[in-house]
Amino acid sequence: MDTGTNQRIKPITAETKEHLFIGGCDTVDLANKYGTPLYVIDEVTLRSICREYIEGFKEYGNIKMMYASKALCTSAVSKIIASEGFGFDTVSIGEIYTVYKAGIDMNSVLFNGNNKTQREIELALKYGVGRFSVDNFYEAELLNKIALEKNKTVDILLRLTPGIECHTHDYIQTGQIDSKFGFDLSQIDEIVYLIKNSYKNLKLRGIHAHIGSQIFELKSYHDEVEILIKEMERIKTVHNIDLDEINIGGGLGVKYTENDNPPSVSDLAKTVTESMKKYSGEIHTIYLEPGRSIISTSGVTLYTIGSSKQVPNGRKYVAVDGGMADNPRPSMYQAEYTADIANKINEPKNEKVTIAGRYCESGDILINDIVLPKTEAGDVLCVYNTGAYNYSMASNYNRVEKPAMVLVNNSISDIIVSRESLDDLISHDSIPDRLE
């Protein structure tokens, strides 16, 4: 039976030869050539999952795929995803500017987020963003004011909280009633009235919700579609406004460890399209915003192992040259990962160790109690499924340079994000004259 790309731990092209190979490239050679920590993106895997989404929903006929750029936003990644027929869900002017400079059709870009600034709104209008997802009353008033000043009419969706709580980490739930995102259902009439009667430079096209991330329960999507469709019908009845667009967000889970069992993209497509047919008599435009499930599996991170510590009658800690600054998810979410020793990929796994980061925090642990071949300083550790929310959440904690990123395909590797230098670290520092 075929396995969906998001149901794999390793990239599609991962091979066991004398070392671990990805995209036809020896990962040990990549570590030696580019240094570590190193983010690696497998182009075949990335394109494969994009095509699974397009194929899965093709029978619905009126679907707009919007990659959630917050998962990983670089110029090269954006170029690849756009070439596969995706638009972009963005949440900052930095993400908007990245896709703009990458040559993306800006009409296919949605601007999301709960506290867009005036500068961001003005620049988004300048760059021609196709949709705004309006999150709150303040934003609606501000967006209308700026649009009026610029003599523009802005196509918008209203983001609402549908009251659905998914079984995921509290920090990545976004659709429950007690959330910082979106309008509560009880507030919809008020904002629709304002748009209809006062905010003449806003054109309401549809509604938007996002119920969370790393979701394994497809019923959550079924419930979301039911709530959104019924709300659209209620708005038509109460306000005489025909809405045609429904954005159900993203959130499909991926397989970080053998204990994870996410549904496939085709399973998601079946649930969403059947729910739309059940609750809607019309073929509305559906926006879908996958992020993690698009980019996560294609990415791995390579580290070099350094020191180790055996606690008497306790754990053995093995330290790598990265950690919470290039992957904060274990510290933030208690996220779990799978890893291999790339240069010992054929050796038996007989040593239980805990992979520790290099940063000055006791909580800087990447993987607890993983069984690997006997580790030594200089070994190359490959952590799988790190494409999403690793680089995008990376920091310069302890004043350490951010890693490089390479794209691999057909035995070729290309730098797509350069490693930061020491001069990069201090490039925005300044010393007042009075301190000289």
Q: What integer pLDDT is reported at residue 175 of this predicted model?
A: 42
Domain match, 33 and 47 both? no
- Is the predicted pLDDT of residue 169 greater than 50, yes or no? no
Q: Which of 245, 275, 295 is at the close of a domain?
A: 295
Taking the alpha carbons at both ends of the chain, their separation in whole angstroms is 69
Res 174: pLDDT: 43
From the candidates 73, 166, 360, 382, which is the catalytic residue? Answer: 360
Give the 3-state secondary structure percentages of the chain, helix then strand then coil, rounded to 5.
35, 25, 40
Most confident of 223-227, 330-334, 400-404: 400-404
Domain boundary among 295, 313, 336: 295
List the domain range (segments joined by +) for residue 387.
Answer: 5-41+297-426
pLDDT above 90 covers what percent of the chain? Answer: 91
Residues 217 and 150 in one domain: yes
Q: What is the mean pLDDT of residues 32-49?
A: 98
389, pLDDT greater than 90: yes
In a domain, 421, yes or no: yes
Residue 129 resides in a domain: yes
Please work out, in degrees rounded to the nearest 5, the angle formed at the alpha carbon of residue 356 by the alpha carbons of 352 and 362. 120
- Please report which confidence band the pLDDT of residue 177 belongs to, taking 50, 70 and 90 as the band edges: low
Counting Cα atoms < 13 Å in the Cβ hemisphere of 281 gives 1
The average pLDDT across 77-91 equals 98
User: What average pLDDT does the segment 273-286 reach?
Assistant: 88
147 falls within a domain = yes
Cβ-contact 211, 175 below 8 angstroms: yes
**Is 363 inside a domain boundary?**
yes
* Residue 186 belongs to some domain of the structure: yes
- Same-domain check for residues 105 and 189: yes
85 and 32 co-located in one domain:
no
pLDDT of residue 120: 98
What is the structure's pLDDT at 86? 98
Question: Which of 52, 51, 48 minimizes the C-alpha distance to 11?
Answer: 48
Q: What is the CATH number of the domain that holds 323?
A: 2.40.37.10
Do residues 342 and 262 both lie within one domain?
A: no
HEC secondary structure over 204-258: EEEEECCCCCCECCCHHHHHHHHHHHHHHHHHHHHHCCCCCEEECCCCECCCCCC
Report if residue 435 sits inside a domain: no
Domain assignment of residue 433, yes or no: no
Residues 71 and 155 in one domain: yes
Residues 18, 74 within the same domain: no
Q: Are residues 22 and 88 in the same domain?
A: no
With a cut of 80, say whether residue 176 has pLDDT above it. Answer: no
**Which among 253, 276, 295 is the end of a domain?**
295
Residue 19 tokens read as: 């070392």
- The count of structural domains within the chain is 2
Span 396-407, average pLDDT: 98
DSSP annotation of 109: E
User: What percentage of the chain reaches a pLDDT higher than 70?
Assistant: 96
pLDDT given at position 1: 44
C-alpha–C-alpha distance, residues 377 and 375, integer Å: 7
Would residue 29 count as lying in a domain? Answer: yes
CATH number for the domain harbouring residue 278: 3.20.20.10
Q: Is 360 a catalytic residue?
A: yes
Q: For the chain, give the mean pLDDT.
A: 94
CA-wise closest residue to 144 among 177, 119, 121, 115: 121
Name the helix (H) or strand (E) containing 369: strand 365-372
Tokens of 150: 């610029």
Of 158-167, 215-224, 254-263, 330-339, least confident by mean pLDDT is 158-167
Same domain, 30 and 53: no
Residue 304 and residue 281 share a domain = no
Q: Are residues 354 and 275 in the same domain?
A: no
Identify the pLDDT of residue 53: 97
- Residue 59 banded pLDDT, cuts 50, 70, 90: confident
**Do 338 and 285 sit in the same domain of this protein?**
no
Residue 93, C-beta contacts closer than 8 angstroms, at least 6 positions apart: 119, 120, 123, 124
Q: What integer pLDDT is reported at residue 281 of this predicted model?
A: 77
